[in-house]
Structure 1
Amino acid sequence: MSTTKTIPSDLTLQTNRVILRPISENDFDDLRELALEEEIWKYFPFNLAQKQHFQKWMDTALAEKQARTRLPFTVMVKETAKIAGSMSLMNISYHDLRLEIGNSWLGKNFRSTDVNRHAKYAMMRYSFEELNCERVEFKTDVLNERAKQGLRKIGGTEEGVLRSHMTMWNNRRRDSIYFSVIKKEWFSLKESIFREIEGFAFTEV
């Protein structure tokens, strides 16, 4: 991430499988419908199945996009144009050349597909190759075995646990586990575990 390039608010990423475009108010109904499944939110600090939580989450996403402190994406399946969920580039430190890929969730019909893999690939590739990041980080609930396994599968290195890190929507205190990929690892990951992914492109203004 250079000192002269920042993340544009209208960045769109894609592979041959997915399109990630900036979230908009027009996505409210589709995302709201996906979020109704309670099981999604077991390990999240928010429960978007609850209407008031979803409204607050959406308002925050739009405000932070406007302020350019976070870029929340709507994730779409390219072939069908169906909305699958949302992910964000967030906790951005231009000085430290790092950011987090987080606020990641998909509807139940997309969680056992390659949508997450393609979306994470597109976000990491843009971060390392266009923004010149030195580090991309991820965090999840230490109890979330599925998410931890998924992060390992995309090349994430487990770093450690922040104890009593977050208050969950049900008032449980969450321990968060961090993973990261660093720049010197990225190109070998791209040519190995992501080698079959094609069609990466981005547009920005």
Structure 2
Amino acid sequence: MTAAMMSNDSLSGRTVRLVPLSVDHAEALFTSASDPEVWRWMPRPRPDSLPEMRAMIGRMLADQARRCFAVQRLTDDTVIGSTSLYELDLAEGRAEVGATWFDRSCRGGPCNAESKLLLFGYAFDALGLVRIALRTDNLNERSQRAMKRLGLTYEGTLRSHMVRQDGTRRDSLYYSVLADEWPSVRDKLLTRVAAKGTA
């Protein structure tokens, strides 16, 4: 598949590898999720303990409409984050991307961009999806700018869509990429990965 070599259900790039998520990744993911800023825009609270992390992973794995991955750094095989396809509907050819976080040490590096490159490639090239959507909090301007830079299309806003962790209600902005747009988005992701260098 383009931009990702598949081996034993893993997706490998230049700096990271996506491997099927398991409860065995809980300890490493609990460490990578330790930065509260990572969870500021998440709809769920950050797990406060290793048992809570295991429970969260268990719930994710029990969802048949998910494909969940742990993100490993290729240089040392350290698990540095997580990402998933969810609400996966193969009959309709669509999914959303979420449950994505990275260790604070990955900020500014290629890990997030390459993880999306690998995940999108898997979705479009291996699963044959037609549409991938991403949603973000209306206050998360950094995320909105990132999606626009990648060439994703803003579709609209679901008003008062979810409850934030602080109890306020958020509007959710939806962005998407379609299969015929994927080559252009792929090229932008490849350029970003190359520009950010190695992890």
Query: 2-side partners of 1:194 and 1:157: how far apart?
Result: 18
Match of 1:166 among 148, 155, 162: 162
**1:44 alignment partner, SS class:** coil
Inter-CA distance 40–191: structure 2 relative to 1 (3 Å threshold): closer
**1:123 paired residue number:** 119
Q: Which runs of 5+ in 2 are unaligned?
A: 1-7, 195-199
1:80-106, CA deviations, whole angstroms, 9 ceiling, x for partnerless residues?
A: 212111000111112221111111111
Query: 1-side partners of 2:54 and 2:129: how far apart?
Result: 32
- Is residue 21 of structure 2 the alignment partner of residue 23 of structure 1? yes
**1:43 alignment partner, SS class:** coil
Query: 2-side partners of 1:109 and 1:33: how far apart?
Result: 11
- Is residue 138 of structure 2 the alignment partner of residue 142 of structure 1? yes
Cα distance, 1:159 vs structure 2 = 1.2
Higher relative contact order (CA 8 A, sep 6+): 1
Q: Percent of pairs identical after alignment?
A: 30
**1:6 paired residue number:** none
- Is residue 147 of structure 2 the alignment partner of residue 151 of structure 1? yes
Conserved 8 A contact 1:46-1:53: no
Matching residue's letter, 2:24: N
TM-score by length of structure 1 reads 0.82
**1:13 paired residue number:** 11
Inter-CA distance 46–53: structure 2 relative to 1 (3 Å threshold): farther
Cα distance, 1:196 vs structure 2 = 7.5
**1:120 alignment partner, SS class:** helix
**2:172 paired residue number:** 176
TM-score by length of structure 2 reads 0.85
Query: 1-side partners of 2:168 and 2:188: how far apart?
Result: 39
Conserved 8 A contact 1:12-1:22: yes
